[in-house]
Amino acid sequence: MAALASAVVFAILGLIARLFSGPLPLLPLDTLLQTVLLWSGLAALGGIVLGATFPKVMLCAVYPFSLITIEPDAS
């Protein structure tokens, strides 16, 4: 459970970090997707390693953030 929660949170953080760290290659589109997926995938892998190494700490630290959802407004 800790590894899964850490992977979700770290993947989102990796995506945000890459978007704000520098310019993205916009064209060709496959390069953009590879860059974003590489950063978020490596961050998720780091989250899995941390979640497997320190399960109690990571579960307490990141599990609440993995439950946050954004729902569209019904109006």
pLDDT tens string 11-37: 988 888 888 887 777 778 888 888 888
Phi, psi of 20 (to 5 degrees): -95, -10
Torsion of CA 25, 28, 32, 34, to 10 degrees: -130
Element of type H or E holding 61: helix 55-66
Question: pTM score, two decimals?
Answer: 0.74
Q: CA 19 → CA 11, 47, 73, distances in Å?
A: 12, 19, 26
Domain ranges within the chain, ordered by starting residue:
2-66
Q: What is the pLDDT of residue 72?
A: 64
pLDDT reading at 74 higher than 80: no
Q: What is the pLDDT of residue 70?
A: 63
Tokens of 50: 């941390």
CA atoms of 55 and 75, how far apart (whole Å): 41
